[in-house]
Amino acid sequence: MAKNTLSITDNRTGKQYEIPIELGTINAMDLRQIRTDAEDFGLMTYDPAFTNTASCKSRITYIDGDKGILRYRGYPIEELAEKSNYLETAYLIVKGELPNRQHFETWEHNITVHTMVHENIKKFMEGFRYDAHPMGMLVGTIGAMSTFYPEAKNIFDLDSRRLQTRRLIGKVPTVAAYAYRHSRGLPYVIPDNELSYTGNFLSMLFKMAELQYKPNPVLERALDVLFILHADHEQNCSTSAVRAVGSSQVDPYSAVAAAAAALYGPLHGGANEAVIRMLVEIGDVKNVPEAIKKFKAGEGRLMGFGHRVYKNYDPRAKIIKQVADQVFEVTGKNPLIDIAVELERIALEDEYFVKRKLYPNVDFYSGIIYQAMGFPMEMFPVLFAIPRMAGWVAQWAEMVRDGEQKIARPRQIYIGEDTRRWIPMADRPEPLQREESVSHQI
């Protein structure tokens, strides 16, 4: 019978090793025994950007990138997007099971009672410059929240973890909406707990002089579906950030602020903005073939296409395309959609994209929908961060409870200078020579 092991021959020494394979992986520490002599540190792996390294075991999200499958706790994303709502999906992600009615109502209540923020948080946010980026405000304010809830540092206390989880999921739309209102010079709108999670968010964003804001049910549901689609995506950049920072045992607000900072970057939370800019630049359906030609020649990339993990149609992109049609029925069509559809049509038939398995990802259509709903582009990463909070806190709590985890501390391959002697300043090389030295560059 085939053995679940890996045999390695070290050709430097001729020695042989047998290493167990568990769950399709080898344990990197098992390589450390492979040494040339007693002085040797032992073999390591080199994996910049962790493209082939599992950093944890997780029960939360499953992705099969080749088949285009995404599941939260075993439930296919398509079913959740069709039948669930964001708060129920957040419960599923955080707690591992779908709630029964009573558990859902308690959860909804527990989140809703935490939608208000401390008055000093509002004051704190007033201190941002009039033109501050809403995502910068969100990152800073989530970090500042740790000072309002000092007991959050008790990360091994289950009750404390639960309380911070509810607070974070409950307050993130409020902080996000305040950031938006601040950047528009509009007064803050207090949460309306009569409304749904997304309905209340729309109210805090767009309420003007009316006594009660009534969200359009189609837009409310569309946003809810988009929130479901963005709730978790296993070990992406921001989730890895929350786990790495949280592994120092810092409080969850600080760890989640780090995750939000990761999401601020254009390669993570900013791709849908790049899609809009690209579509505007293309300008017209008739210019699409020319644009495709340029992408194929390496002049820029077809933004919203391709994914590190998905080598098939991103299942979220399929759902988003349907949501777009529903939203446009209410808002009128975003003219950029025609350019996007034509780009997709041509790219999916083109050998360049087919051969490289480049398909639309979640960002290809999401920006077009957000724009049609009236969101400025700076809000796009904020709209991503709100639902991802469920994923971040669930992944953080899973990491805290995981006995195999320790403080995250990758290794490096040192390629710098060997030991050197300090020399007096007067004897050091001239600046010109020093600038040429690679090690002097920052």
**Which positions touch ligand ACO (CB under 6 A)?**
268, 271, 295, 301-308, 356, 358, 361-363
Q: Min. distance of Cβ 308 from ligand ACO in angstroms?
A: 4
Q: Min. distance of Cβ 56 from ligand ACO in angstroms?
A: 20
User: Measured from the CB atom, is 50 or 109 closer to ligand ACO?
Assistant: 50
Q: Min. distance of Cβ 271 from ligand ACO in angstroms?
A: 3
Torsion on CA atoms 67, 73, 77, 83, rounded to nearest 10:
150
Q: Min. distance of Cβ 361 from ligand ACO in angstroms?
A: 4
Separation between Cα atoms, residue 261 and residue 242, nearest integer Å: 10
Query: Contact at 8 Å (CB) between 50 and 411?
Result: no
Query: Contact at 8 Å (CB) between 228 and 91?
Result: no
The residue behind tokens 């080199």 is 46
| End-to-end Cα spacing for the chain | 54
Q: Which residues touch 228 (CB under 8 Å, ≥6 apart)? A: 77, 80, 81, 84, 85, 86, 89, 387
User: Measured from the CB atom, is 251 or 314 closer to ligand ACO?
Assistant: 314
User: Measured from the CB atom, is 168 or 302 closer to ligand ACO?
Assistant: 302
The residue behind tokens 């350019």 is 339
User: Measured from the CB atom, is 229 or 394 closer to ligand ACO?
Assistant: 229
Q: Min. distance of Cβ 426 from ligand ACO in angstroms?
A: 48
Which residue among 230, 233, 307, 314 is the active-site one?
307
Separation between Cα atoms, residue 442 and residue 440, nearest integer Å: 7
Which residue among 192, 224, 314, 363 is the active-site one?
363
Alpha helices in 185-311 (DSSP H): 197-206, 217-229, 237-246, 252-264, 271-282, 288-296
Query: Contact at 8 Å (CB) between 159 and 152?
Result: no
Host H or E run for residue 182: helix 158-184
Q: Min. distance of Cβ 307 from ligand ACO in angstroms?
A: 5
User: Measured from the CB atom, is 6 or 267 closer to ligand ACO?
Assistant: 267
Q: Is residue 307 flagged as an active site residue?
A: yes
Which residue among 268, 338, 350, 402 is the active-site one?
268
> Burial level of 388, CB count in 10 A (0-12/13-18/19+)?
buried
Q: Lay out the sheet containing 69-72: strands in order across.
A: 61-64, 69-72, 75-76
State the residue number with the nearest CB to ligand ACO. 306
Active site residues: 268, 307, 363
